[in-house]
Amino acid sequence: MKPKNLKKKIRRLEKRLQEVPKKLAKLKQQLQAAEAAKAAKAKKKAAAKSLKPAGGKKTEAARKPKKKLNLSPERRAQLAAAMKARWAAKRAAEANAKGASGDNQHAVPPGPPPPPQNRPDGV
């Protein structure tokens, strides 16, 4: 091999060997930054966990306020009547279940439930 080519090869190799420590230092720095970020995130998470109430439930301030329904007075009255009827039916079913629970073990099961009502507002 010619001396000129050998000199070129040596120069290139020396240059490459000088770059390797720089790359290594850069990678070590990135690893250190990633570990520091991970530790900070864990610390922040632990601090947030310690601030939560012991019961695990959200506090009143953190809970979203109930959204007020934009209903007309007629629709509001209609919904109130439907809910009252539903509650009355539920109370009647519970009363019947209590009265007939131990008395008649071979009672006929109740008929099929009434079909769902079709409502224009989808409620």
Q: Which tens digit of pLDDT belongs to each residue from 32-66?
A: 999 999 999 999 988 888 887 555 555 666 788 88
The widest CA-to-CA distance across the chain, in whole angstroms, is 113
Model pLDDT for residues 9-18, shown as the tens digit of each residue: 999 999 988 8
Q: Write out the H or E segment, with its range, that includes residue 50.
A: helix 3-51
Is the four-CA dihedral 79, 82, 86, 88 of positive or negative sign? positive
Map out the domains of the chain as residue ranges. 1-49
Percent of the chain residues topping a pLDDT of 90: 40
